[in-house]
Amino acid sequence: MLWRALIAARDLGRLHEIASILIRYGFGDFVRRMGMANALERAGRTLRWKHAEELAHLEPPARVRRALEELGPTFIKLGQVLATRVDLFEPEWIAEFSKLQDSAPPVPYADLQQQLGEDLGAPPEEIFAAFDPGPLAAASIAQVHRARLKDGSAVVVKVRRPGIRPVIEADLRWLMRLTELVESENPELRNFHPQEVVRQLEQSLRRELDFATECRNAERIANNFAGYTDQDAASPSATGKAADSATAAPLIVIPRVYWQWTGERVCVQEFIDGIPGRNLVAAERAGLDRKILARRGAHAVLKMIVEDGYFHADPHPGNVFYLPGNRLAFIDFGMVGRLTEERRSQMIRLMLGMVRNEPARVADVMLDWTGDSHVDEAGLLQEIQAFVDQYYGLPLKQLSLGAMLTDLVAIVRKHRIALPADLALLIKAFITLEGMGRELDPDFDMAGEALPMLERSLRARYMPAALIKRGWRSAGEMLALIADLPHDFFRLLRAARRGRLEIHIDVTHLKHVGNQLDGAANRLVIGIVVAALIIGSSIVMTVSGGPTLFGLPTFGLLGFLGAAAGGVWLLLSIWKSNRADRE
């Protein structure tokens, strides 16, 4: 049923391409186990096994990363999502996934021109005073062109590649079906939550395919930074530098969106004329203070996380530009993280517990994350105590928040605690942020920068105004519940009068017992039928007359054959049941 759907005409070509790439990178056994080879052979497609595993000399993480790159945009994005799941993969895998770069040969401008005109509402030459047909950058989903509006404003035009959506849709269908098969056939892989990862990938890709969503993300973050000042960013080393703290220009720049020309397949944004985040030499030559840049970047991301609960989820140097006056600009808001107020509170308590040597607080937060999963609480608390003790007494400057989070995630993996997707994204953002800060300033103290803001946010939660606000909200929810009680009670009585009152109790162990009883009853029925066939066939064998086969009564012989088939099925069923119980 699974692969019959996969070999539909719309997915067959893509399936053949995926299987061929996997074979070339040494994953031929995986192709066979998943049934792709059989499905393609039935559809008349042959796979090239001759050059299988030609790149198998690479380490498994590198082979997987190279295969993902070649498989295209969906799988590159999958690797980028996996790079955020530090709770599921070891550091060497995370390091390889983090190397995935989304680049592709550019689409000729002639192939884009018609689609671009449709999306802009007029030919590009009527809207722009100048438009560079050569792309500024090209990725697998989109490419970017420089342009200039008729009022002289420099802009970038991001255009989605024609025909990319059907390819991604086919890949997502294939991945979702594959994860269903993996979870049913390989119970040991369930700890990696493949279906949850693919759902996270699907949400991320659908947002990334819609450029209007990305622009709304950018505009929301820009609104959060309206009027933002960072008085703490100035340091003694800034004395004598350009008057960056007094400048009227915004410290954090988010590109302006030109909504009249922005839609699902195209977006027009302000061009950021700055120094790319990876070019530290150029930043120094421009007279920028790397220490201030590191602190301002950290403060900006911490504000997004701790105060706003809406943050740039991929703050690596490629998405940052340095501007005159030690200012920063962030671009590419295709991947953003969202944190509820409760989640922010948990993260603040966790990080304060790590910095202040409070293992019980750290353990409480982690147990909140486990949900209904069974966890060895005593063993978890013991490991967290040892984890916190190794940092006890160290000055803040010697604490590496990224290293601490990495060690904490190792404990999470050991106890098979799967972090919620938003927290996995957040931890990855923290680790990336600290790495970027230390590239700018080797003495960068992430813990020291984060602690004051965390303490301030925690105190703010217990200020009278915040308590009153939460109290009013809770009171409103309680009053709404009380107001709905008469209606809910009336519906309950009406269902009872009509005989439609149902009570559902879902107990996992009872369900398992019920399945075992169903299986036992089925085997008992088959056993009775087999016994009846044997007895009936024996009686038929003693009756003379009627058709014969090989000198024996035909109906008696058929009865014995049916009994033999039922007996074989019964033995196989019992064997499989015993094997499943042992596993």
Helix (H) / strand (E) element for 131: namely: strand 128-131
Q: Whole-angstrom Cα distance, residue 451 to residue 177?
A: 45
- Quick check: 135 and 144 in contact, CB under 8 A? yes
Q: Which of 119, 171, 314, 445 is catalytic?
A: 314
CA distance 285 to 98: 29
- Please check whether residue 336 is in contact with residue 214, taking contact to mean a CB–CB distance below 8 angstroms: no
CA angle 131, 134, 140 (to 5 degrees): 115
Q: What is the sign of the dihedral through the CA atoms of 373, 379, 381 and 383? A: negative
Angle at 363 between CA 362 and CA 367, to 5 degrees: 125
User: How far apart (Å, rounded) are the C-alpha atoms in residues 87 and 412?
Assistant: 6
Active site residue 230: no
Q: Please, which residues bridge with residue 275 across strands?
A: 322
Three-state secondary structure readout of 40-86: HHHCCCCCCCCCCCCCCCCCHHHHHHHHHHHHCHHHHHHHHHHHHCC
Q: Which two tokens stand for residue 202?
A: 């699907």
The DSSP result for 170-219, as a single string, is HHHHHHHHHHHHHHHH-GGGGGG-HHHHHHHHHHHHHHHH-HHHHHHHHH
Give the Cβ contact number of residue 65 at 10 Å.
24
Which residues, 6+ apart, have CB-to-CB distance to 410 below 8 Å?
Answer: none
CA dist., res. 278 & res. 315, Å (int): 12
- With CA atoms as reference, report the closest residue to 29 among 3, 46, 7, 49: 49
Residues 468 and 460: their CA atoms lie apart, in Å, by 12
Q: Which residues are catalytic?
A: 314
